[in-house]
Structure 1
């Protein structure tokens, strides 16, 4: 509204003059200044002032004739700007304002000589008197009259016989000014148009109030300006309706402020939640255990969170100071804690890596020294011990750790490759020994069942001597062959013990008990064997078969012993 409070006076509108009961002419002009743009509503100077100023303008055009064009133009502009001399028609009638005068001075420009022609004389410069006569001879352009629309607001006012204009406010009247030299209708229309301008400004403010994109502060500023204009205005119109419009704007402004405050509170709450999420994530990152923290990824995420925080500060909803300061303190503390933890972690890591590097270098040297050893068993155990120490030594830097491991593994591989080559040669030799022992096992199987104990013992001793002389067998066959020969040896030994005990009466009783136990065990073994056979467990079938055969042999011996004792 503030940019709609000034205007200029049209050339053809009558000028309001102060009456003896009113303020001087300058104050009247200030009172009737329109509140919104409009070329025709500005207050004009009084007729007497215009009459007094017009000769001044004409005298300025003739007084100094030497610099005719420029100085006259300056005088005209001064006349237009002077307070109380705003009557446009008077200015237009003054001769010095004729723009074509500049064109008439064209002969003053020097002619441009032709390149090859002789110089020509310059044309004569017209005298100031001649120039002034030409300017006076030019007709002034016609001025179109300004036509004002009829304002219905004039019905709220009247003009008395002395030319005073009054406005009706309820049952009362209030004088607003006068318009000397004008008809009562012209005077009423003048003050009514001023009211219409203020009313239009109020209507515009109502529209801005209804626009959700216009903030309440702008509406409040406009309302303040409108009230100032209404307080200073001397107008004719429905002032009660204008006051009602202002009251409506004030009520709507209060509602708009409440709505904006609610929207700001909601936006601030949402922004607080977003900032809280940033802070919570930063605190979560800072709270990780140092050994479980991915420092590179976590550091990048911390920087991204800081950028997001700055973006919220630049373009997001502003938080209240206490909330923002509290959140920033938490965020800053989390960042500082993370940075401190990272520095501490890597400082300790550097120290640990240096210690690990030193320990692993010593292990590598020891492994390289053992890599050429031919003492296969002890050296293999030594390498196993070195590997355990390697795992406990920690890690050096990636590059250093990889290089040390490559050296350690090379030394280890050199030893075990050499050991494997020797073992392969031995395995080939042991296969021949295996063939010998398998033949001996077949021969030993003929001893069972033991019928002649002395003969069985003699055969077994011979087989045992040949077994020891045969030598080692491949590692994979050691357990199988040893169990087979031990089973035969056990059967012969048990037969011998049974014979020795057969002379003891107590042995007969125990023999009978043994027969019972063996029979029960054999039945259990036969049941387990059947289950293993049904399940397809070949290894278990093989073990149960061997055990069953042994116990069957024991059963025969126990039964034979029982027969000896008449059981």
Structure 2
């Protein structure tokens, strides 16, 4: 009889393996010595060890499915339970049990991963639907249309959900796209109608502009052309193929009229240029009165200059503000001198100014005394409040004193 720590061979050639549940028959060996029998069944055990090791590695390092892993485990367990090998079979069972636990954990992990992926896909699709529904109300037709097309591509790249959820979300997504398409189609249909109406309006404006182009009623016709231009702008744009042609005709009619008017006005401008020279000479004569030193003499001289000014006709429109401004500057200086003289010689105004100054000075003195008293009593809050009031009264007093100085006092 031959034996090792995990098995033995009896005198009949029967091979046994030792397990936690006692000895189990492995098989019968008649072809050789007992040592050869043990060695044969030990090799079968080593083969099981290798297969289990390979399966452990596959489970650990590859994406072997839980179903395939469990089938491989069951196959190996059948071989271990058949007791056709000599070795620590209980250790192999423990390794297989541990492998089952690993596969079960992997199955739960993948189940949780699929659930997370499903939740992420659901959230992503819900976000796409929400954005699509918001875009459905947009008036940015081009940008919103391009974004909706991009959302469709994004949707196609996401995993499917359960059929009911996926169909419901797709229905909302598709409805939002359809709603946007309907609004865009209605918008451009309305735009086409507006452009056709603009074309009709502008054709009427062109006809009137061309009819007015030969008018010599310069003022009213120019005013009417301004009104026509305002109506043109308010009409909106016509179709592109009509807009430029209509505008060229409209602008051409105006150019004919305004060119004729400019020719007539050029003759008038020659006369007005001569008037401008005369008025510039008068403005220069008036400016020599500055600064005002003798109000009575200056007033009489300016009255004479102004009478000659009024006798001269119109000057060119673009020069009018400049030359008239020079005269107005002298006139304002005379008026200011008159006002200053009146203030200096007005006893009632001086009395009012002196009275106001006296009242303000009394109020300032009173506030200063109150502040000193509050500080002495330790009431700093009251003193600070009175100080702010004092600053306001002092500012008023300074203004009143400046006004009083104008009377020479």
- Indicate the SS of the match to 1:373: coil
- Indicate the SS of the match to 2:26: strand
| 2:170 equivalent in structure 1 | 328
Query: TM-score, structure 1 length as denominator?
Result: 0.50
CA shift in 2, pair 1:325/1:223, >3 Å: farther
CA displacement at 1:234 relative to structure 2: 3.1
| 1:474 equivalent in structure 2 | 316
Answer whether contact 1:367 1:412 (CA < 8 A) is retained.
yes
Give the whole-Å Cα distance in 2 for the aligned partners of 1:305 and 1:388. 44
Answer whether contact 2:80 2:93 (CA < 8 A) is retained.
no
The superposition leaves residues 430-455 of structure 1 with CA deviations (integer Å, 9 ceiling, x where unpaired) of 22244556778979x99x969xx9xx
The superposition leaves residues 451-510 of structure 1 with CA deviations (integer Å, 9 ceiling, x where unpaired) of xx9xxx9x99xx68x966x543322455788x79xxxxxxxxxxxxxxxxxxxxxxxxxx
Q: 1:303 aligns with which of 116, 141, 149?
A: 149
- Indicate the SS of the match to 2:86: coil
| 2:77 equivalent in structure 1 | 227
Give the whole-Å Cα distance in 1 for the aligned partners of 2:64 and 2:296. 116
Answer whether contact 2:206 2:249 (CA < 8 A) is retained.
yes
| 1:547 equivalent in structure 2 | 335
- Indicate the SS of the match to 2:15: strand
| 1:420 equivalent in structure 2 | 262
The superposition leaves residues 350-387 of structure 1 with CA deviations (integer Å, 9 ceiling, x where unpaired) of 11111111111211221122222221111111111111
1:431 aligns with 2:281: no
In the TM superposition, what are the counterparts of 1:106-255 in structure 2 within 5 Å?
Answer: 155-211=5-61, 213-231=63-81, 234-255=84-105
- Indicate the SS of the match to 2:158: helix
Which ranges in structure 1 are unaligned for 5 or more consecutive residues?
1-152, 485-537, 559-567
CA displacement at 1:219 relative to structure 2: 2.6
CA shift in 2, pair 1:331/1:386, >3 Å: same
Give the whole-Å Cα distance in 2 for the aligned partners of 1:364 and 1:345. 28
Answer whether contact 2:77 2:93 (CA < 8 A) is retained.
no
Which ranges in structure 2 are unaligned for 5 or more consecutive residues?
290-294, 347-409
Q: 2:111 aligns with which of 242, 261, 264?
A: 261
Give the whole-Å Cα distance in 1 for the aligned partners of 2:310 and 2:338. 21
| 1:50 equivalent in structure 2 | none
Answer whether contact 1:357 1:401 (CA < 8 A) is retained.
yes
Give the whole-Å Cα distance in 2 for the aligned partners of 1:171 and 1:232. 14
Give the whole-Å Cα distance in 1 for the aligned partners of 2:239 and 2:199. 8
| 1:349 equivalent in structure 2 | 191
Give the whole-Å Cα distance in 2 for the aligned partners of 1:281 and 1:424. 65
| 2:214 equivalent in structure 1 | 372
| 1:78 equivalent in structure 2 | none
CA shift in 2, pair 1:543/1:234, >3 Å: farther
- Indicate the SS of the match to 1:167: strand
CA displacement at 1:399 relative to structure 2: 3.7
Specify the structure having the higher radius of gyration (Cα).
1
CA shift in 2, pair 1:436/1:155, >3 Å: closer
Answer whether contact 1:216 1:253 (CA < 8 A) is retained.
yes
| 1:401 equivalent in structure 2 | 243
- Indicate the SS of the match to 1:221: helix
CA shift in 2, pair 1:189/1:540, >3 Å: farther
Give the whole-Å Cα distance in 1 for the aligned partners of 2:79 and 2:253. 101
CA displacement at 1:277 relative to structure 2: 4.5
Give the whole-Å Cα distance in 2 for the aligned partners of 1:553 and 1:418. 55
CA shift in 2, pair 1:398/1:277, >3 Å: farther
Aligned residues: 333
Give the whole-Å Cα distance in 2 for the aligned partners of 1:540 and 1:161. 146
Q: Larger helix proportion, structure 1 or 2?
A: 2
1:340 aligns with 2:182: yes
The superposition leaves residues 236-291 of structure 1 with CA deviations (integer Å, 9 ceiling, x where unpaired) of 33221111111111122222233333444444444445444444443343221x3x
